[in-house]
A and B are shown apart, each in its own frame.
Chain A
Amino acid sequence: MPRMKDNMPTIIMGMFLIVYGLIVKTEGLLPVMKYLNTHKSMDLQVTLCLVLGGLALVGALISSSKKPGDSLFDHFFLQPLGGVVMIMVIAMAIRWYLEPLVMIMSGSLEPVLGFGVYKVLNLNYVVLGILAGVVLTNSYGIPEFAVPGVKCARFVLKMGVIMLGARYSFAELAKLGVYSVWLIGFFVLGTVFLVLWMGNLFKQPKTMTGVLAAGMGVCGVSATVAVAPVVKAKSTEMAYTIGTILTFGIICMFIFPTVGKLAGMNAVQFGAWAGTGILNSAQVAAAALAFNAVDIKTLKVAEIFNITRVLFLPIIVLVLATWFGKESGHKLTFKTVVVDKFPLFIVGFLILFAMSSMGIFSPPSHYKGKFIDVSYNDRTQVTPEEWETLNRAAGEGAFAALNPEQKAAVDDLIHQRQIAGNYDERSDRTKFDRVGRARMTQLESVLSQAKANTLTLSAEVTGAIKHAVKQVHKSSKTVVTLTDFMIWFFAFGLIGLGMQITKKSITQAGGWPIVMGVIAGTTKATLSFFVVLWLVKDVVLN
């Protein structure tokens, strides 16, 4: 084996993964995993480590026993293997150890600081992954054996964007009223054109401007990755855009709830504003919860406004392909833009989105794989003890303070032992579902009031209602698994992307992208603030 020495790092990593996988399998790390709250991923940890470790060892041994060749097997498997395994080891360390540790530390520091560092700085696998890549490349450097593997990063990121399509469904868009869609579309396109105009004004490279426009207009990471090949953006420009968006989001998370409260916005108005003005979905959720942790309407509206932006992604790709083509002095026909310039992987995103909307993965009305099922099912019922508690509480008049709709929903829960529509109307699916969902909403409002202490109910009663509500919230295993793939693809891709960012490239980009990002973001936030106050009253959802 003449080339054994060259493959030693891959062999060591492969052996480490196999040993780690076996230790996890024997439950040797269970206490640590329970502390980190990662024990639910135990099976995944074992499978991933053993499979990857096995591949690493086999690949390294084949590589050591033969001369390097030019075959497809060499080019796409043997050469990138070392780097792929290295990035995966870093991704695993981040997902299973670093991210949970940051969450725990952030939780214990919250009483002292008054805010959660994890939430505020958005220290999830996206940021930690890029940071890990940047730190490695600018300190030790990318080891030679890993260079071909790092080159897979963008390809894997594209796979992440394709998988993203499975999480959304057209039914979500249909939930929004027509003018809400117009509102979102106006701000998405408005921001894109504003950034393009500023890029021209500040004489920034069109590659940087294009990718920043998409990131600021649509929704951060996925939009940045999606548009990068269209405007031929470099890895540094992609990472710079992601950094700008996340930094701007952090500022917004602090300012939005305070301004919203000062302006006297209602739950729906704030949800619409946060969903339009803040880019990153985790930051949108954090701002919505900071504004109003009790009324779930704020979070729901904010999330729907936020995800609807993703659906503008293909349109933005077309707009930027046209703009980039024109800026580069090429003559563009409709066919050039739509067929030649349109990235194939966005077609993949659309295929998965279409499959998701058709209900192939889970009922079409799902949102990120979660859906409400009020049909009759033994598993949807409350336990006999919970039913006893509710029945007794009703007899003692504990629900006297509820409004008539809430009271009717509780009475029906006791009557049917689960949240459902009317038994007599079970053959009319639509009506049955509508009545069941309305009852669930009433019960959720009872829980909100109890949480806000405007209603006194015993812990057992709220526990029983909470369980009943939880029972009708189902989640699709298919979408959850596809989302897991997406998360791993993004984690891998972002670590690799971080590894392509050197100090030199950051200095070359200068501070202008941040200035442009902040101006565009502030303009969008201010404009959407007034538009939402003026146009959005109470009802934005159908």
Chain B
Amino acid sequence: MNENKETNTQTNDAQDDNEERALSVFSSERNEDMTALILCLITTFMVLLFTKWLV
């Protein structure tokens, strides 16, 4: 009985996960975070270059 309950919860969790992933262009949270991080670091570098280092 308990085992069934656990399997149901896991299925629901997986379904919720899939529904939320469907709301993103990325296949996983890790990819999304990593891309955001890399893009932000590039942006920061460019901003530093044009507002501080090259002026």
Contact = CB atoms under 8 A, between A and B. Distances in A.
Interface of A: 75-76, 79-80, 148, 151-152, 154-156, 158-159, 162-163, 166, 229, 232, 234-235, 328-329, 343-345, 347-348, 351-352, 355, 360-361, 477-478, 481-482, 485, 500
Contacts of A344: 30, 33-34, 36-37
A356 to B, nearest CB: 10
Interface of B: 6, 9, 13, 16-17, 20, 23-26, 29-30, 32-37, 39-41, 43-44, 47-48, 51-52, 55
A119 to B, nearest CB: 30
Given A158-B36, A163-B40, A345-B36, A361 B26 contact: no
Nearest to B43: A485
Interface of B is mostly: helix
A232 B20 contact: yes
A148 B32 CA distance: 15
A360 B48 contact: yes
Contacts of B26: 155
Contacts of B55: 477
A163 B39 CA distance: 11
A234 B39 CA distance: 24
A341 B16 CA distance: 18
Given A232-B16, A345-B33, A151 B52 contact: no
A154 B28 CA distance: 13
Contacts of B25: 75-76, 79-80, 148, 151-152, 155
Contacts of B23: 151, 154, 235, 500
Contact of B41 (A351, A477, A485): A351
A361 to B, nearest CB: 7
Contacts of A155: 24-26, 32, 35-36
Contacts of A151: 23-25
A156 B33 CA distance: 10
Nearest to A235: B23
Contacts of A345: 33, 36-37
A328 B17 CA distance: 14
Which residue, of A76, A162, A351, has the highest number of chain B Cβ atoms within 10 A?
A: A162
Contacts of A152: 24-25
B37 A154 contact: no
B38 to A, nearest CB: 9
Given A352-B44, A361-B48, A229 B36 contact: no
